[in-house]
Structure 1
């Protein structure tokens, strides 16, 4: 199938059988050796040992043997800025604010075609790393850019998608960080947010697209926009709220100097406290704010690579989980993490918690749960993140005869994380019952043609970077 063509309906039935190791991440089913999954109409209908497969299920429309494979639920990415993959490896030695003020010079020249191409490439990178569902935070709308550009990319490539209509309204002239040329009128933002909800949001079970509203950050939107976005979102069932919060010390200092409060008080004042909210980063929450998050069911998207790259810090994930805060994983924008490999982020999240000196601070199973069940909860979903009857057929598989798995046969599921850099891309990806990757090849886009288009967009955009960008910050 080529880009631009509508997706064919999923096979009425799909059978995956003889799976060497099937990790369902379902507490009742657990892990199965020589397992099988039967899918009907894009939904998992049966899971169990291949030997117990009901006779009626053996003659499915599509039957695949996954001997010598490890299978898990599709991973869920809960924070990204997909357009940023056009500007990787820029301002390499600066923190968040300096990095942003460098890249705004290029981003203000984005066109809708750039965003479409960037999103499709970012989604391809995610899918090949085991991701089947992703959010995306598009917060800059220069020229002809609309959220429709990213949604078109998701529909064509076949990814389950949670686009967030972001916004920046607080420019330099009003005390914010971005140049005024990167900001929008707040009334126009809110009107387009409502348009996107009405046109695209689908709150049904197994939905392929649900909306969230996402004013970008306290340092580039007004409190009034935060309040109005929350009111608007809560008028529509299933529309959630998302933004950045407590990312680094600069972020905390801005909040205290501008608003006179820490993040926990700020979100109370703008009415962003509730189980329909998830925040990115949260490296700098204090103990009271962690308890606030737990009490109100607020989620966090942990983005380890970006936090390290920008010297923001290490989110206290172990403490957050022990405080009963839900934590999912995000790759963040591929201009701050510079890589959209979700499985790699899960690995780093696991290893970073051991920097405390405890080898038991986090295990592979808990890390995978963050990237599946934790991500699903951040997005308000109870139909993805597990392989069990009644869940969406979002399933990924890796070949166990890859070089990185050799010697790891005692625990191939843990090897997915401990051996990530050398295990390669997924061999099979099923999203909503559709086979999107087969034999390691992405079927829904011509990858080489996409890369060619993407590189051309990137080169055009990067010509607008200031000459001093390699210094990391303006001299």
Structure 2
């Protein structure tokens, strides 16, 4: 048992309960045994949380870990220009590059308070080895709960898509590999550390047949669906010209709206489309820093949340968002909402909800993670807020969201520490950096 006391606790329960002087108890089974105000008489290893804030672990609902190896490129491009610059480089990916990039990216995420991350991997060079296995092993090494998606692209430039021919797969090949990945890796148990989802890349890199059959496959296997959608004006123009409809209308047409679907970015939605997403409970991974870096626009998060859409936060790939800290997305989400709707458009607690329960809902894990409630998995973070950068902000949640990126004093995944006193428990940061540097140079030759 671990007893954290004398600490502010933001539970992110249905009432957004905050205990300004509270406790959290982690049971030997890796679940929350108690949470509440004041002290507790329960026994266990006691941790003094004075000057700290405990929250649920942050959930990263959209990422491309392999991109850690290609940061700092195409810095002034829109999405389509950025992609066409990087596709040829990504065509040289292999398991070595992907594993080292994933370990670095996941380690960095853990240091920013992430306890669960997904990954959207959709580049599978024929001679690259098992890149999906490489990133799964990286997640095990770092100790994070992991939801990798088996992505795919089958619409190359010669057929009217955006990616070059050498980075796409044949449709049947992609579907078979996706089913094999589910059969090999997916663990549907409540305490699962590893779940697979099905994730064709985007309307401009995937055929209609692959979109439709991927949805059928996912539902037959009982796993979730993920894709990029409505990220840029270029994408909308592509869909209008190729399909005669908007990206959301296209997704609806091919069976890609529903409670088992979450979409990345979702910047360009009409009022009608937001209502449709809310009615179908289709999730959205909001990636405010990446959207800003690529100049894609500002997602209508306030309207999405008000319509009942599950909205989580995503870092997105490190090549389009070099900061890659999920905790920083709390502030960026709040700022984006306020740029659109004014200072009352989002509160600090609402931003925290996006980064915790919102992401859990997108991943279908709201019964297991996303809030600090008795019986839930003990995925939690204790943030140090007693230093110079946060001292004097009495509201600890406001200090976390509005203030500078807070150091992680302790991060637990299922009760097991992955970060202690600002350092990774299961990996060495310097080693991760050295390996990431090596594969970057390997890829860029």
**TM class by shorter-chain length?**
over 0.9
Cα drift, residue 420 of structure 1? 2.5
- What is the rounded CA distance, in whole Å, between the counterparts of 2:142 and 2:311 in structure 1? 27
Deviations 1:147-169 (A, max 9, x none): 11111111111101110000111
Measured after TM superposition, the shift of residue 236 of structure 1 is 2.0
Task: Tell me, in whole angstroms, the C-alpha distance in 2 between the residues paired with 1:70 and 1:396.
Answer: 8
Aligned residues: 441
Aligned counterparts of 2:20 and 2:271: Cα–Cα separation in 1: 42
Measured in 2, the distance between the counterparts of 1:165 and 1:344 equals: 27
Runs of 5+ consecutive residues of structure 2 not aligned to the other structure? none
> 1:345-360 alignment to 2 at 5 Å?
345-356=329-340, 358-360=342-344
After superposition, residues 65-104 of structure 1 pair within 5 angstroms as 65-104=48-87
CA distance in 1, matches of 2:307, 2:362: 16
User: 1:29–1:388: 8 Å Cα contact kept in structure 2?
Assistant: no
1:135 CA displacement: 0.6
Match for residue 47 of structure 1? 35
Report the more deviating stretch, 318-327 or 373-382.
Answer: 318-327
- Aligned with residue 429 of structure 2, among 413, 423, 447: 447
SS in 2 for 1:427: strand
Mapping for residues 292-331 of structure 1, pairs under 5 Å: 292-331=276-315
Does 2:238 align with 1:220? no
Gaps of 5+ in 1: 1-12, 464-475
Q: Secondary structure at the match of 1:339?
A: coil
Q: Does 1:282 align with 2:269?
A: no
> Could you tell me which residue of structure 2 aligns to residue 389 of structure 1?
374
Aligned residue for 1:470?
Answer: none
Where 1:147 maps in the other structure, the secondary structure is: helix
Rounded to whole Å, the distance in 1 between the matches of 2:53 and 2:418 is 17
Q: Matches of 2:15 and 2:294 in 1, distance apart? A: 40
Is 1:245 paired with 2:232? no
Give yes or no for the alignment of 1:16 onto 2:4: yes
Indicate the residue corresponding to 1:137 in structure 2: 120
Report the alpha carbon displacement of residue 28 of structure 1 after superposing the two structures with TM: 5.0
Root-mean-square deviation (CA, aligned residues, Å) is: 1.3
Q: Distance in 1 between matches of 2:252 and 2:401?
A: 37
1:151 maps onto 2:133 in alignment: no
| 8 Å contact from structure 2 (residues 230, 248) kept in 1 | no
Shift of residue 267 of structure 1? 1.1
Deviation at 1:77, TM superposition (A): 0.6
* 1:29 to partner: Cα distance: 7.5
User: Which residue does the alignment assign to 1:128?
Assistant: 111
Which whole-Å CA distance do the structure 2 matches of 1:183 and 1:301 have between them? 24
Structure 1 residue 185, shift from structure 2 partner: 1.4
Q: Cα deviation per residue 1:128-156 (whole Å; 9 max; x = unaligned)? A: 11111111000101122431111111111
Query: Taking structure 1 as the reference length, what is the TM-score of the superposition?
Result: 0.91
* Contact 2:94–2:131 under 8 Å retained in 1: no
Q: Distance in 2 between matches of 1:185 and 1:222?
A: 10
Q: Secondary structure at the match of 1:280?
A: strand
Distance 2:313 2:389 in 1: 23
